[in-house]
Amino acid sequence: MENFTGKLAVITGGASGVGFAIGEALAKEGAKVILTDIEAASLETSAKALTDQSLDVHFKVADVSNPESMMQLAKWCESEFGSVHLLFNNAGVAPAELLPIWQTKPNDWQWAFGVNVMGVLHGIQAFVPAMMAHGEGGRVINTCSGNGAFINLPSTPIYTSSKASVSSITEVLKLQLEQAESNIKVSILFPGPHTVRTKLFSAERNRPEELARDPNAPEHPISSVEDMLEMMSSMGIEMETTEPEEVASFCLAEIKKSNYWINPINEKSEQAFKDRVESIITRSDLPNPNIF
């Protein structure tokens, strides 16, 4: 896909952060964009910010963890705007993880996997059949994380394992579409190369009551990127950050190249991944990943 003019793009988690930045970048390149999110007020405000720029952007509230909600979204998109060409399964959450894996609660896993894993699956099942059927070509882009796809940070067992699942689902989707000789292509997006300035650390704001966090769980000290920077600085580590707009620009450039891996270079993370792979190949002891 060498340009986005006239293409219809659907972006989950589009009210803020990477999703919003991708939507803005696509619209500026001539795409018709549908932003969807579970946060109604934030979504409406964000969409208005783009329509005020005379960009072709629309919005629809949807819950990626609910398959019926995603099916309704797909039907609405097709009936109102026609064929979808770009599907960004971008919505994601990060539970406030502080406990060892044997002390975590089922609610934490169900909430994170419901959004991060089932959300991607629901997006695929709601949109890909019609994308294959219309014959105009297209691309599915799933947002992942090196924490899970390449290395496994022991501090975030739930988030890590959910993103490992996203990596596997995306790879299988690519291979199955190729086997089906479909003209729908697949990419996997790793926002970075550094911690991205998004609201991911405050994702608990969207957590449903029926999957509430254990009230006896310890309070997490990090609820923003600024909190993370301050904590790392107190440990003598100066973290770098990446703006969502940088992620969006890199993502669109890589899509134009038809790349599967949309993964900016981060030397420390890549070395940690190489160390892990080396331990697999040599059957040596698994190292503790050091990315700082």
Question: CA-CA distance, 114 to 49, in Å (whole number)?
Answer: 29
Question: CA-CA distance, 280 to 146, in Å (whole number)?
Answer: 17
Question: CA-CA distance, 8 to 10, in Å (whole number)?
Answer: 7
Check if 159 is active-site.
yes
For 5, 24, 56, 117, 277, the CA distances from 31, given in Å and listed in that order, are 5, 9, 7, 27, 40
The encoded tokens of residue 35 equal 């932003």
Relative to beta strand 57-61, strand 86-89 is unpaired
Backbone φ and ψ for 89, nearest 5 degrees, come out as: -85, 85
Catalytic residue among 159, 186, 190, 199: 159
H-type helices in the chain, by residue range? 17-28, 40-51, 67-81, 106-116, 118-134, 146-149, 157-179, 225-234, 244-256, 267-282
Three-state secondary structure of 233-279: HHCCCCCCEECHHHHHHHHHHHHHCCCCEECCCCHHHHHHHHHHHHH
The encoded tokens of residue 223 equal 């609820």
Question: CA-CA distance, 45 to 108, in Å (whole number)?
Answer: 29
What amino acid is encoded at 257 in this protein?
Answer: K
Q: What residues act catalytically?
A: 159
